[in-house]
Structure 1
Amino acid sequence: MKLAVLAVAAIALSGCSPVDDSDVKRLALPVAGSDRSQTMWDLWLGAWIAVLVIFLLVFGLIVYSMVRYRRRSDEEVPVQIRYNLPIEALYTFAPVIIVAVFFFHTVTSQNDMLRDVENPDHVVEVVGSKWQWAFNYLDETATQGDDVFDIGTTADPTELWLPVDESVRFRLRSPDVIHSFWVPEFYFKMDVVPGQKNHFDMTPTREGVFTGRCAELCGLYHSRMIFKVHVVSRAEYDAHLTELKDNGDIGAPQGAKEARTIAGLDQNQSED
């Protein structure tokens, strides 16, 4: 019976894909847009299969019990069992085994997604601050090695530009509170923690304009901490960086000026 249930679940989900046009066949995920998406998709698909198997098994046992042990007459009462040791043992150990399997595959997927690229093609420093994003493009050939940046405000969100099919190392930092860098199409997010140097590598795999956001409740204007991600050809990417340099957006901004301002007092907190 277990094999039959597993076969039904596998057949039902075999047609699903992270790049399918149908939301149902993507299992509610957005269309995948990075080389790390497949790893997360495999974990997500496995979770759905496990949930479907457990649902069919439990639902089947419920229906079986209703039919097999139903009361057939007013005189006939089903045997009342106070306890059943094998069943109770199953209820105890089965969830432990399920959680252990989930934990194993989660750690395996996490290690694969956090795998570093030996020599990434690009390095982008992500600065999350109250309440905006800044993206610093470091040591690019299009700008003759000058660092340039995109920055915005809560009223005018910034934009992140990335070249398609080229690896990018994201260095994450924050001057104030914990933020979280998240682009749903990349199937990946990572916290931006003050004093903690986090980074991850990724390669965008399809062109388009996506919406990124902060996935950590970071304060008053958290909901406005969004940004647009433009995944474009290398020529368009270089043209954008050249435009930033021509506009004088050179250097590496540290985040919003108000990030270290004490609310209501207009006094700057010390760097310490």
Structure 2
Amino acid sequence: MSQSGRVRSARRRVTTAAVLLLGTVFVLGGCSAQQRDEWSRLALPEPATEETSLIGNLWIGSWIAAFAVGVLVWGLIIWAVIAYRRRDDELPKQTRFNIPIEFLYTVAPLFVLVPLFWFTADHQEQITDTSAEPDLVVNVIGQQWSWTFNYMDEDVHDIGTINDRPTLYLPIGQTVRFDLESPDVIHSFWIPAFYMKMDVIPGHPNAFQVTPDREGSYVGRCAELCGAYHQSMLFDVEVVSEQEYQDHIADLREAGQEGIIEPPIRGAYDDEVLDEENTGGGHE
């Protein structure tokens, strides 16, 4: 290629890069404040507990590490393509090696993996720490195919069914510990806005605690494939004021839902579904 041809090619590349950069700026500039906020969280939902910063920072840090590795690898690939591009028909030596590059590929991952491992272990220890005394305890039982919530401090319960999802009420600003149990198979208790999920394992009680700090309505679900009607294991979460929480507890008492429910529980797999299965009927 002549000198003028190389100059024109370089100009085209610069022009293309400039157009892409300006397009990106315009696209991001046209986003609403809410969309920009979502971009800053890298697709995580709006946080709803005091502990979400631990998981959110780890999530963003993992992406930064991934991008750093990607930039390094792609940079080396592009450099090798340009520096060692084919110039004639001579076959290059197949036994040649580059000690500095091989050393870089060996050492560079350590600068990514070691900090990432350390932050993961440190944050995991804080996230799963239940040594602090909670303000209330909710015993969560995951059964095929719904949830039971025992409000241990209030001695009331709420049972969901495969057709009627239960609602978990939590008072804002109070630390709640979830004690997780299962009488049948492995489930996974997950509230996306809490940035936290934990397996519910038969014979192996689990626990974690969080402090909700934003009132609102949220959705919870089972994040472990647990059988034919796994998709029905949904529940609602209401983070409310202390007064609203006490009103809900009073409603449960008036409805006769006093006492603590112990597994195994068959109520969630209701008679309607059992009848359909016994008669060969389907369930949508």
Matches within 5 A, 1:204-223: 204-223=212-231
Question: Deviations along 1:126-154, whole A, 9 cap, x unmatched?
Answer: 011111101011123xxxxxx11111111
Cα distance in 2, alignment partners of residues 198 and 120 from structure 1: 15
Amino acid in structure 2 at the alignment position of 1:109: H
**Contact 2:41/2:60 (8 A) holds in 1:** no
Question: Quick one: which of 240, 244, 247 aligns to 1:239?
Answer: 247
Matched, 1:176 2:184: yes
Matches within 5 A, 1:49-68: 49-68=64-83
Matched, 1:124 2:124: no
Query: Following TM superposition, by how much is the alpha carbon of 1:70 offset from its aligned partner in structure 2, in angstroms?
Result: 2.1
| Number of the residue aligned with 1:31 | 46
Cα distance in 2, alignment partners of residues 212 and 170 from structure 1: 13
Matched, 1:202 2:215: no
**Contact 2:128/2:208 (8 A) holds in 1:** yes
| Number of the residue aligned with 1:3 | none
Matched, 1:257 2:266: yes
Matched, 1:135 2:149: yes
Question: Deviations along 1:93-126, whole A, 9 cap, x unmatched?
Answer: 4445543433222111110101225221111110
Query: Following TM superposition, by how much is the alpha carbon of 1:203 offset from its aligned partner in structure 2, in angstroms?
Result: 0.4
Question: Deviations along 1:161-215, whole A, 9 cap, x unmatched?
Answer: 1011111011111111111111011111111111112111110111111111111
3-state SS, counterpart of residue 32 of structure 1:
coil
Cα distance in 2, alignment partners of residues 111 and 46 from structure 1: 17
Amino acid in structure 2 at the alignment position of 1:128: G
Question: Deviations along 1:26-48, whole A, 9 cap, x unmatched?
Answer: 10111111111110111111111
Cα distance in 2, alignment partners of residues 34 and 185 from structure 1: 8
Cα distance change, pair 125–191 in 1 and its aligned pair in 2 (3 A)? same
**Contact 1:181/1:214 (8 A) holds in 2:** yes
Gaps of 5+ in 1: 1-19, 141-146, 267-272
What number of residue pairs does the alignment pair up? 239
Judging by fraction of residues, say which structure has more helix: 2
Decide which moves more: 197-206 or 56-65.
Answer: 56-65
Amino acid in structure 1 at the alignment position of 2:250: T
| Number of the residue aligned with 1:163 | 171
Moved beyond 4 Å, runs of 4+: 75-81, 263-266
Cα distance in 2, alignment partners of residues 254 and 179 from structure 1: 17
| Number of the residue aligned with 1:91 | 105
Cα distance in 1, alignment partners of residues 52 and 233 from structure 2: 23
Matched, 1:42 2:57: yes
* TM-score for the superposition, normalised by structure 2: 0.76
Matched, 1:21 2:34: yes
Matched, 1:186 2:194: yes
Cα distance in 1, alignment partners of residues 254 and 89 from structure 2: 92
Cα distance in 1, alignment partners of residues 91 and 106 from structure 2: 29
Aligned residues with identical type, % of pairs: 47
| Number of the residue aligned with 1:109 | 123
Amino acid in structure 1 at the alignment position of 2:172: V
Cα distance in 2, alignment partners of residues 198 and 111 from structure 1: 14
Cα distance in 1, alignment partners of residues 199 and 78 from structure 2: 45
